[in-house]
Amino acid sequence: MSDTVLIIGANGKTGRRVKTRLEARGVPVRAASRGTAIPFDWQRPDTWAPALEGTTRAYVTYQPDLAIAGADEAIDRLAGLAREAGLRQMVLLSGRGEPGAQRAETALQESGLGWNVVRASWFNQNFSEGYLLGSVLSGELALPAGPVAEPFIDADDIADVAVATLTDARHANRLYEVTGPRALTFAEAVDEISRAAGRTVRFRQVSAKAFADAMAGHAPPEIIDLLLDLFTVVLDGRNRATASGVEQALGRRPRDFADYAREIAATGLWRG
């Protein structure tokens, strides 16, 4: 069996970065999503075993989020199938301060597989590749987020840590909690974007109801509920502190949000 890495969620923010990095190292990769030749669909468990067959390691991102009910059971089932298929290692992208995510971590750690967990804070790239981009382009982010700081992490740092765990046995069976080097409120992050982009982008705090009403028709109800939970429950200060996972895994500091903002601004993406 060739040492092939399965990437579940290969089209996502971190999955495609992990794929690019592994391919640059000459590591055989199987990218798996609903639309690939060998598909993988979290809503279709019958696709899981065929996607695992012939691979030896896996990088796993769960959609829509490990915080949702049943995610830990899905990870437990996937890990069992992976063990039966002969996989040696599974690397799970997890989230900070989410009880459901921590249950999924435990399921993997107790599965009998070699494991790693990359437990991440909010992504920088949510402002440039995700659901916040449209608001940045409109000139205003209206979110149910108060003056609570979050140490945003860059997706490139997450990918670098994941690749290190997949290619270096010294990282075996370790959890890396990864954040940026400093915590910013959403208002402060938007100010950084505004300065870098050279145009006014404002942050406005709104009620949970106002946010849900504005999202209606633009996202499924379950995604709106998930976002509300993340903004109004998880973003309560529990994740304010920075963590040292990037330094532990890579021996360097994580990327600062201001550097990320300047790089994206230079591409012209935020010109509106």
Q: What is the CATH number of the domain that holds 246?
A: 3.40.50.720
pLDDT at res. 102:
97
pLDDT at res. 131:
83
pLDDT at res. 226:
87
In a domain, 223, yes or no: no
Kindly report the number of other CB atoms within 10 A of residue 168's CB atom: 10
- Contact between residue 262 and residue 197 where contact means Cβ atoms under 8 Å apart: no
**Enclosing domain of residue 249:** 5-123+153-180+239-255
Compute the distance between CA of residue 128 and CA of residue 135 in angstroms, rounded to an integer: 10
List, for residues 24-34, the tens digit of each pLDDT value: 999 999 999 99
In a domain, 14, yes or no: yes
In a domain, 54, yes or no: yes
Give the closest residue to 154 by CA, choosing from 229, 60, 264, 235: 264
DSSP 40: -
Identity (one letter) of the amino acid at 13? K
In a domain, 137, yes or no: no
At CB < 8 A and 24+ separation, what contacts does 10-16 make? 10/36, 12/61, 12/63, 13/123, 13/125, 13/129, 13/130, 13/155, 14/61, 14/93, 14/155, 14/158, 14/159, 14/162, 15/59, 15/61
Residue 60, strand partner residues: 8, 92
Compute the distance between CA of residue 19 and CA of residue 220 in angstroms, rounded to an integer: 28
pLDDT at res. 139:
97
pLDDT at res. 215:
86
How many structural domains are present in the chain? 1
In a domain, 73, yes or no: yes
In a domain, 68, yes or no: yes
Give the closest residue to 126 by CA, choosing from 253, 231, 207, 13: 13
Helices in the chain by DSSP H: which ranges?
A: 15-24, 48-52, 71-85, 99-109, 133-138, 155-167, 186-197, 208-215, 221-229, 245-250, 257-267
- Digitized pLDDT (tens) for each residue of the chain, 272 residues in all: 469 999 999 999 999 999 999 999 999 999 999 999 999 999 999 999 999 999 999 999 999 999 999 999 999 999 999 999 999 999 999 999 999 999 999 999 999 999 999 999 999 999 999 889 999 999 999 999 999 999 999 999 999 999 999 999 999 999 999 999 999 999 999 999 999 999 999 999 999 999 999 888 878 888 888 889 888 888 999 999 999 999 999 999 999 999 999 999 999 999 97
pLDDT at res. 1:
44
pLDDT at res. 2:
66
In a domain, 87, yes or no: yes
In a domain, 110, yes or no: yes
